[in-house]
Homo-oligomer: A and B are copies of this chain.
Amino acid sequence: MNRYAPVLRALGMIIMLFALTLLAPLILSYVVDDGAQAVYDEVFALTLLCGCFLWYRYRNVQRELNVRDGFLMVVLVWTVLPAFAALPFMLQLGVSHTDAYFEAMSGLTTTGATVLAGLDDLPMSINLWRHLLVWIGAMGLIVLAIAILPLLGIGGRQMFKAETPGPMKDAKLTPRIASTAKGLWIVYVGVTLLCIAGYRWAGMSWFDAVCHAFSTMGLGGFSTHDASYGYFDSSAIEAVAIVFMLIAGMNFGTLFLAVSRGSLRPYLHDPEARWFLVVCVVSVIGIAVFLRVNDIYPGMGEALRHAAFNVVSIATTTGYASVDYAQWPLFAPLWMLFLCSFATSAGSTGGGIKMARALLLYKQVYREILRAMHPRAIHSVRIGGQVAPSGILFAVLAFGFMYMVSLVSLTLLLLFTGLDVMTAFTAIVASVNNTGPGLGEVGPSTTFAVLNDFQTWVCIFAMLLGRLEIFTLLVVLTPAFWRR
């Protein structure tokens, strides 16, 4: 038991901190008197107690966290916190523990798929809690993606370390995370405040502005309305959303540099940002033309508006919808799901394999083709002007391979349960990439509530697998991990 003591102590502290975030919906619930007060009282007390107990039990442990502890802690945080986060949904809304856990996991992994219908009529505090989960999950993700995963060497993440600010030479986990995280969180909070202001200016209520700013900055995709952004039907609001989704889809480290230097130059030196923006702009224009040619919208302006919002929403793995794009000719939504599998940057809150890895995968496949044509020449893979070390390339290729294996095997698993292929495949793609809505029965106009319990658990696993970049979870699921 002692072996896991440092992890459990840290987990206890995280649960205690997490309990404090429950104060937000608790206070709101008392202020607006939406009937959920008692539930938050109970859940807050229970969560705080559990956290305190763990922390108190192991408070005297001196050992620092090592790399192996890091893996265990990441997996524990992303599986235990959703269990606490699910309690308000179970107790207040009476949904099953499976659906409640799905909703919480969907929030904390910033997936934004929902099993709840009638969002407009939920207690305000429940909606705040859903959106806050996305924002907290994204905050945790920033630490995970920028500080922890590179240290753990997951899927070539080391490569992207150089791009983040601050000294990164230390071998122990804790001090570095704290210093890196602090700077990034300040930026994250600042941009979120700007986003709230933007939404309010564009016409949202304060409550909607706060909620949607949370789910925009986390690229989560939750909304307080069943019709998502279709409810507002406002170009101004959509424009604000597009700007902030694009910002959140790029590396927060780059944003941090840009803010601290007061210059956009860091973005020019960020190869991921460049390709991300190119891919988004080209896809928006292409799909707008495609929609106009297919006569889906009477004018080019309207086609451009809907293409811009929905393509950026899916490509950044956010998952908002302003129209039911599943009704567009199939090429368009499938292309959007294809984009969400690779468009966002490695240091962002987006999902998928990330642009950095996608570029490396493309370059490596092309290198193999060149190597076959010119076997004696030296072919190196470069990223950002530097030759990528082979350890990184192996990690990225292994990641790409396991990503594809995950998609195929989890889709087959859903097909076994009797789902149709469109629903099964897009549910897995949307879950593994932490995007949210798929197509078919889990399209933008419906919810994941149509899935049975087993199917829901498969999607929960897929969301977790994607959020933890596959190998974090694989490592912990390996017998060798548990051997002394």
Contacts and interface: CB of A to CB of B under 8 A. Distances in A.
Interface of A: 67-68, 71, 152-155, 330, 334, 361, 364-365, 367-375, 390-391, 393-395, 397-402, 404-405, 407-408, 412, 415-416, 420-422, 424, 471-472, 474-475, 478, 480-481
* Nearest 8 Cβ contacts at the A-B interface: A421-B421, A404-B404, A397-B397, A368-B398, A400-B401, A401-B401, A153-B372, A369-B475
Contacts of A372: 67, 71, 152-154, 471-472, 475
This chain: copies in complex? 2
Contacts of A365: 398, 401-402, 474
What secondary structure prevails in chain A residues at the interface with B?
A: helix
Contacts of A400: 401
A71 B368 CA distance: 14
Given A330-B416, A368-B398, A373 B405 contact: no
Contacts of A394: 364, 367-368, 390, 393-394, 397
A398 to B, nearest CB: 4
A370 B480 contact: yes
A350 to B, nearest CB: 21
B398 A364 contact: yes
A368 B71 CA distance: 14
Given A153-B375, A393-B394, A421-B415, A369 B478 contact: yes
A405 B404 contact: yes
Nearest to A395: B368
A413 to B, nearest CB: 11
A253 to B, nearest CB: 21
A390 B478 CA distance: 25
Contacts of A474: 365, 369
A342 to B, nearest CB: 12
A415 B357 CA distance: 28
A155 B370 CA distance: 12
Contacts of A368: 155, 394-395, 398-399, 471
Contacts of A475: 369, 372-373
A152 B424 CA distance: 39
A277 to B, nearest CB: 25
A153 B365 CA distance: 13
Contacts of A373: 67-68, 71, 475, 480-481
A371 B481 CA distance: 12
A31 B353 CA distance: 63
Contacts of A375: 67, 152-153
A432 to B, nearest CB: 13
A407 B408 CA distance: 9
A398 B397 contact: yes
A367 B334 CA distance: 34
Contacts of A405: 404
A367 B153 CA distance: 12
8 contacts: A67-B372, A67-B374, A364-B398, A369-B478, A393-B394, A394-B394, A400-B401, A404-B404
Nearest to A364: B398
A383 B345 CA distance: 36
A404 B395 contact: no
Contacts of A152: 372, 375
A221 to B, nearest CB: 24
A361 B471 contact: no
Contacts of A371: 153, 391, 395
Contacts of A397: 364, 394, 397-398, 401
A64 to B, nearest CB: 16
A335 to B, nearest CB: 11
Given A152-B375, A330-B416, 6 more contacts: A67-B375, A71-B372, A153-B372, A369-B474, A369-B478, A407-B408
A408 B404 contact: yes
Contacts of A369: 471, 474-475, 478, 480
A263 to B, nearest CB: 35
A229 B394 CA distance: 45
